[in-house]
Every structure is written in structure tokens, then in C-alpha cells.
Structure 1
């Protein structure tokens, strides 16, 4: 089936509408969702789903959007789910986003008008080489765009629209899930897996068109607490051992080879993300990442050995390290269900793209969903340079993502 001649895409209009709604999540919040404004987008999505005939679309008290597209085939087809997150990253403002479409991109530098110092250059964004002739969407220079992950939201919404309007596309029951708080690590804390009742799920939250991701980091968090010795600074000689200075020395002594700025590909890292303290007590929060789960403990031991080496110069001071699990590599689960990834690869190829199986130097909602009993790889959404003012996505890549979702629905029906 040639979807190009069949579809009247709505993905661009939806995307331009969604990015103007501020849905930034807040890592310091203790509520769920972390910001109430995420529900503003959730309510709009429910209204739009109801308007196209998705009768059970609803927003629950936690800010999740659930919806079901009933199957239209006599076959017994496994229920599959499509998922994207509604929040944008805390790293950069998501308020008053002004999207701009740069039509027929021809390789030029893209200067963002509200801050001309923000220039999107092909040399710094090599994927732009694949966008010649495409229509590239950016923000105006003072905010992020929100393609991560409103591109995925818009793509799933357009796919819902197409499925409801084209009964000739045969498919089983399709579940839809839009989540809050993915960017602050809590995206699936309150997901009702039983309500979804799905065999497989696909997050639409990847980067380059054609990418299919079946592997994430395994991730731990760590808290290093340093107990120093406080003394009056006027009488501190030979007595004071400042926990703040000790913390700084420990951070400086960590090996560069295990820092994010010196790693790539399948290499893991140790990353101090926050420091707080006083002379007597200081704390360092770390994130520890590696594709090989067994290496997480090795990385934690690097922190321990570094702290012990520094503290040799501070005999009255001590430290403790607490490590907590965050998420695990979804490949461990997906390898037990190979058809979930294989069908997605075939769907991408049917759009005319070349499917590429990739690993993510990060995590997705799918990382945790996979270990909650819902195997969940990640399909491209076309988003690039996320979490910053130079974020961009192309219209044509978003349309290819819509086609991929539709082909995937069809493949599950064909092979059942």
C-alpha cells in the first residue's frame, strides 16, 4: 500500500499547535505530574482524539492520556501501543515557543531571528546534509522547540487520524499513551499497564529518520556524602577539613576518560550533576551510565576509590556512597521478543527509508516499560539537537514517522 498517495498529512499543523503549549517538567517538584501545565496539552489531545472518533480518550489524575483505536480485522492480532511524552526538558525554556518553518532548505546557515547569535550550521549538525529540499522547523532563538517529544506526539496523533479515516488500513487494537515527566525520569511512575493490556509498545522519540533503537544505557544514581570538620575560620589552622573543598578535589580527580565529554558510542560514564554543602558536610549527586550493566558497579567503585585517595589527606573526614537503580538496558527484554523490533525495521523500510538499528546514549520511557512487562523499543521522531535553542525537525521526517506507524500497524495484522 502506497501511503503517500493515500494520506492528507496533519502532522505539521498539529506539531506547530502543540509546541506553543508550555509543558516543561520540573525536577525539583514533589508532585505528579511535576507541573500542572503539562495537563494543558493532555486536555487538548483528548479533545482532538474525541473529535476524530476515538471514543475512550481520557486524561487521568496523573496527567496520562489513554486512548484506544479498535481493530478492524477478523484476525486475532496482538494489541500494540504507541507512546510519546508531552513534557519538554528543564534545561531550556519552553515558554512562548515561536516555531518557524524554513522551507526548501538548501544547506545554508539558519540564523534564529530572536537571537542572531543562535546559528544552526551544517558543520555542527551533520544530519542537515540529509535535509536538502526539506522544510526544517526551528524555534526563534530564545527557547527550545519541543520536538523532543512533541514531534512524536504529533506523529502518533496524525497516525490516529489516518487510521480513523482510512478503514482500508487493516489493523488490530491500537492503544495510545501520552506521558508526562519523562524528562525528569518519572514518565511511567503511574502508568496502568493492565489498562493498556498491550503485548508490545513503541515509543516515538528517536532522532534521525530511519533510526530504530533497541538498546539504552543501564543507569544508576549515586550520592556521595562527605563529612568534614568544621572550625571557626579565625582559629581553623590544623583543625578545619572543609567538606566543600574535599568535594571539589574529588570531582577534579575523577578520570576524564569516564566523563560524558570524553565518551561516545558504547562507552559509559560517571557524571557529577549537582553539588551542595557546607564546611562540615557536602554532597555530590552522580549519574552513572553504561550499556553493560555489570560495569555500573565498576564505575561506582571508581567514585569510592577516588574519594578514598583524596581523603588520605584529610584524616579526620569520612565519606559514604549510596547507589540507587534508575533504569536498565531494554535490550535485555527485547532480545526475548525479536519480532517486536523486526516488524518495526520492516515498517521503516516500507516507507522507502533504510532502517538502521541503533543504541541510545540515554534512556526513554521504553526502558522502564520494558521491565514493567511491556517490551518497548524506540522509533525515530526526527527530532535533533534536543534540550537546546538550536533544536530542529523536518516536516518530511515527521511524515515518514507517521507512515512508519501506519505500516507497523498493518504488519502486525498481516503477520497474525
Structure 2
């Protein structure tokens, strides 16, 4: 951009008239003190309390964002920013915009995303509810580190700086509070340079309740983390269930199994069959979910995973499915034959139910694999968007 600056200080705003002026003055003081060529942008999300007029009166640039939501406001502000770097923070005076030196230093040193860490910098009394401080934030941050192997310790800190070009390249899509998690997750998956600096959190200066809703927004963050990690949502539970079902089924297939006074028989064998069916379906969902997410840009592509998917062609999946269904049919025929040999009378349930359960399990899993193979192949169909030439305007009749 011809008028590009070094830094944009971005604040999302929805009815923050009580604290907005304080935040803007602190940000202006930081720019004046450091001599950084920068601007202050207020991404206004439909304020009706005079916030927009306050910002304009203090010389900040207001960017109206019609679509409601924390993420939507930030996305609109980032798009409109003229700074090479952007530092974003809430306009409720809980973050100190006068002390952004550590963020700028890390950005100038080459960092793509610099996160504040409130637990390392200090949280003032009353600044964070106890269930956020000791349950919500630690648990969600731990889940994020486990799922995505990110170095970030405070996933949900609202004060963070980043390279505008790098974040625009992440194609962030969420519009709510989960925007904060999406930025960290996608930056990690894209192998950007992520760093943390200590920051403080003060009690906000608003008299009204915050926009954040603890359980609703906490669930949205957790849901996002799960949906962005098909391995933890589908693959690992599926492998565990499938492995357990195969192990228990192999032990019980010949007959009952005893441990001390406890006897495991056909009912446990049925539970093992259920674990196999659900486990295999979960693994299929992991493959389909990963293929869909990587194809449409939600998750960066992976060389190892792409090679695995290339090996799992529809034809190979169908061969495995057909083999399983043939095994199931053979076991079912054997069971019917045993019934016929007894003139279709009563059977020994412990002995004859095993091949029937085996037959049903093989038939169901074979059918599941077949349908999953077709679904995965549908996602992988190449798409070519043909540009339709515009029709010439109608000519007036002579």
C-alpha cells in the first residue's frame, strides 16, 4: 500500500464509550513516545452509545463492520489496516496500550505472531473470574498445546501483535470469540514464527457486563479446537476402540474366557463387535474430515497425510470392503447351516452366536468402508470453475 505505516493499533468496539477514550489516549501516547509511524483503528461493530464519535473526535480511524461478532470486527479491522504490523487489544481498558514495546521488538525481530501471556505478566485482583483463571483458560490452552503442539501458553489473551501479511495469508474465517483460537491454531499449522511476551491484565473499566459469555464462548473455543483436529476428535478414539474390540474379540472368538471368578462370554463378544464397528467408522470420519479440511483450506496440507490418502484409493477400499462382506456372508451361511442341521430348533447361544456376531460385524464394517470410500472420493473430485461469458446487453428494437 502506498501509505503503509509500520504499526496499526487495532481495537474492536461495540458500545465501549466508557473506556474507549482512555485506550485511544494510551495508544497515542505510546506512538508519540516511541516515534513509531502508526495509526489507531477502531473496528466499530455497530455501537449505539457514541463510541464512534468519541474515536473520531480523538483522531482515530473508524472502520465500520456490519457483520456482528468479535472475529468479524477484527477481520474487518485487519483488512483495513495500513500498518505492516498490527497490535490488537480490547477497548475495555483491561490491557495497557501504553506499554507495547515488547510486542514491537519481537515483530521487528521477525516474529509473525506475538502473543501476550497474562499468567506470566500478572493478573490484577478481580480482572479475571476464577473459573476463567483456574479452569477455562488453563484447560483450553492445554488442549490447544496438546492437539497442535503450539508453544503458546495463554491461548486466549486478547492483546497480541502480528504481521498483517502473515495473518491475512491464514484466511481466518470464524466470526465469534473463537477467532482468537483460530489465529493461533492456523499460525501454528502454517509453521509461522510464534512467540510470547508477558503482559498484564487489569480490571476493565466498564459498568455493564462483558460481551463474553463464559460457557457459550468456552464451548465455541473447544468445538473449534476439536473440529480443527480430526486426529483427536475421530482418529485416536477410533484406533483405541478398534484395537480394544479386535483384542477382546480375538480372545473370545474360540469360546468363553475366565479371569478368576469372572466369566466373559458372548455378551462381551457382542460389545467387542460394537467397538470394532464404531472404531472403524470413527477412523473413516477422520480420513474424510481431514481430506475435506485440507482440500478447502481449513487445515494446511500435510505431505505424510497426502501420501496416505493417495494410497487409499477408492478401488483399494472397495476391495477391502468386499472381502469383509464375503467373510460376513460365509460366517452367516455357516450359522444358518448349523441351525438347519438342528431342524431350525433351539441352538446353543454361546456357541452359535459367535459366528452370527462375526458375520454381522464383517457385513456392517464392509458396508461402512464402501460408503466411506465413495464419500471420500466425492470430496476429491477435481473442480473446474468455468467462467461464463457475460451476455451482451439487449439491443433496442429499431
Higher strand share: 1
Shared fold, TM over 0.5: no
Report TM bin, short chain.
Answer: under 0.3
Normalization by structure 1: what TM-score? 0.23
User: Larger % of helix: which?
Assistant: 2
